[in-house]
């Protein structure tokens, strides 16, 4: 699969590394060149500097050849915007949008995106850890 | 009409003021508490502190009974979120301020009815002033007539023809011909038009495009 990842933070860099290891072709997009230092050593995928909310930037980076798009910047609304762009303007088949705010995640999902909230998932995980009987 | 305005910056504030003057019910949603107070001092209670990008805030603002939601913050992503949530809540019309003109397509695809881009508007103005532009609006008259200046390019389909031979849209008139040397003439039917001539033409506003085609030729970008 050709996958584009917008936002090369800790999560973005990790997702990029895992996908590449699984044999996928990965393109990473970030506004800040320095962010690419988070990518694992030996990462072979494409690195592009630019704003993922900008159509021409996405086109230059090869959005039209992508099978999947991850929106992983720090801004929930920015992720929403870029995801909608990938989905509606460029017709990308799989678009995954990270949303920190659980309330916003629900509405973004209702508006038609595949969403993921690390806040909800993380909170649930921690509660489960606490309540799980030790040694079980 | 009940209008919700997301974003209490300059655009949002003046928009609210105008609408209030027009006897509409208005509520401005503004994220910054300090700015809310400033707005409230000017226009009274028509302001609410909160994030218009949150569904719960819009619900508190009574979005379900809003006739129109205008998202006018300086961030296109925020404006899209506001409009999308508003429409999902059943608001019939959403208007977004667009800051990056390249984003217009997405807003259109999402069904945001009207999009306004200050950048685009200013750009259009600047393009009108450019000397390379072949049709320059000079004056708009109350009668719906418009006075334009048209410089005939080398590729003009009427270059070398007499005024009588030129097919103009209805209620249009070539009223002045200025040759490249700057000499003005009031044209007769026999006057020959040449490339480089500047024509002052009276026409109807709705005929501008037809006029452009008949005097200048195919639209820019359609070189074939």
Residue B71 neighbours by CB under 8 Å, 6+ apart: B6, B7, B52, B78, B79, B80, B82, B83, B86, B94, B95, B96, B97
At A44-96, the pLDDT tens digits run: 999 999 999 999 999 999 999 999 999 999 999 999 999 999 999 999 999 99
Helix (H) or strand (E) holding A129: helix A118-131
Q: Residue B67 above 90 pLDDT?
A: yes
For residues B175 and B186, the answer to whether their CB atoms sit within 8 Å is yes
- Residues of A at the B interface (Cβ-Cβ below 8 Å)? 53-56, 75, 77-78, 80-81, 84-85, 88-89, 101, 103-104, 107, 110-111
Q: Is A85 in Cβ contact with B85 (below 8 Å)? A: no
Please tell me the predicted confidence (pLDDT) of residue B206: 87
Domains detected in chain B: 2-123 (3.40.50.720), 131-215 (3.30.70.1450)
For the ranges A45-59, B117-131, B203-217, the one whose mean pLDDT is highest: A45-59
Q: Residue B66 above 50 pLDDT?
A: yes
At B41-57, the pLDDT tens digits run: 999 989 999 999 999 99
Domain count, chain A: 1
Q: Residue A136 above 90 pLDDT?
A: no
Q: Which residue has the tokens 């916003």?
A: A104
Identify all chain B residues contacting A56, using CB atoms and an 8 Å cutoff: 102
Q: Which of A110-114, A132-136, B107-111 is predicted least confidently?
A: A132-136
Average pLDDT for B176-194:
92
Question: What is the domain extent for residue A111?
Answer: 2-131
What is d(CA A35, CA A70) in angstroms, rounded to the nearest whole number? 16
Nearest residue of A to residue B99, measured between CA atoms: A54
Per-position b or e across B104-135, b if 16+ CB within 10 A of its CB: bebbeebebeebebeeeeeeeeeeeeeeeebb
Mean of pLDDT over chain B: 87
A vs B, Cβ pairs < 8 A, gives 53
* Smallest Cα distance from A113 to chain B, Å: 12
Residue A136 is assigned to a structural domain of this protein: no
* ipTM of predicted assembly, 2 dp: 0.86
The predicted model scores a pTM of: 0.70
Q: Residue B223 above 50 pLDDT?
A: no
A122: domain CATH number is 3.40.50.720
Concatenated DSSP letters of B13-75 = HHHHHHHHHTT-EEEEEES-HHHHHHHHHHH-S-EEES-TTSHHHHHHTTGGG-SEEEE--S-
At B6-23, the pLDDT tens digits run: 999 988 998 899 889 889
Concatenated DSSP letters of B92-133 = SEEEEEESSGGGHHHHHHTT--EEEEHHHHHHHHHHHH-TT-
């Amino acid at each position: 699969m050709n996958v584009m990842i917008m936002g090369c933070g800790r999560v973005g860099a990790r997702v990029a590394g895992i996908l590449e290891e699984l044999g996928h072709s990965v393109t990473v997009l970030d506004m800040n060149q320095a962010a690419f230092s988070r990518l694992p050593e030996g990462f072979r995928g494409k690195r592009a500097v630019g704003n993922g909310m900008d159509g021409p930037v996405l086109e230059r980076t090869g959005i039209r050849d992508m099978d999947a798009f991850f929106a992983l910047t720090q801004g929930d609304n920015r992720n929403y915007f870029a995801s909608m762009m990938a989905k509606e303007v460029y017709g990308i088949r799989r678009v995954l949008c990270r949303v920190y705010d659980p309330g916003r995640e629900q509405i973004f999902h209702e508006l038609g995106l595949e969403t993921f909230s690390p806040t909800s998932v993380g909170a649930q995980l921690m509660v489960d850890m606490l309540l799980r009987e030790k040694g079980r | 009409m009940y209008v919700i305005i997301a974003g209490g910056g300059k655009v949002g504030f003046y928009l609210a003021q105008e609408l209030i003057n027009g006897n509409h019910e208005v509520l401005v949603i503004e994220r910054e508490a300090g700015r809310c107070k400033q707005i409230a001092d000017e226009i009274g209670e028509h302001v609410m502190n909160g994030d218009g990008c949150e569904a719960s805030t819009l619900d508190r603002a009574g979005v379900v009974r809003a006739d129109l939601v205008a998202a006018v913050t300086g961030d296109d992503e925020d404006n899209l979120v506001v409009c999308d949530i508003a429409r999902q809540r059943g608001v019939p019309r959403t208007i977004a301020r667009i800051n990056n003109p390249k984003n217009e397509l997405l807003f259109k695809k999402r069904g945001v009815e009207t999009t306004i881009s200050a950048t685009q508007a200013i750009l259009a103005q600047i393009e009108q002033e450019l000397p390379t532009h072949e049709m320059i609006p000079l004056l708009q008259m109350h009668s719906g007539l418009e006075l334009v200046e048209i410089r005939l390019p080398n590729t003009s389909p009427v270059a070398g023809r007499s005024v009588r031979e030129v097919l103009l849209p209805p209620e249009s008139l070539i009223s002045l011909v200025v040759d490249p040397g700057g000499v003005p003439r009031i044209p007769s039917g026999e006057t020959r038009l040449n490339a480089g001539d500047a024509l002052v033409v009276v026409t109807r506003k709705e005929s501008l495009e037809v006029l452009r085609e008949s005097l200048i030729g195919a639209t820019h970008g359609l070189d074939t």
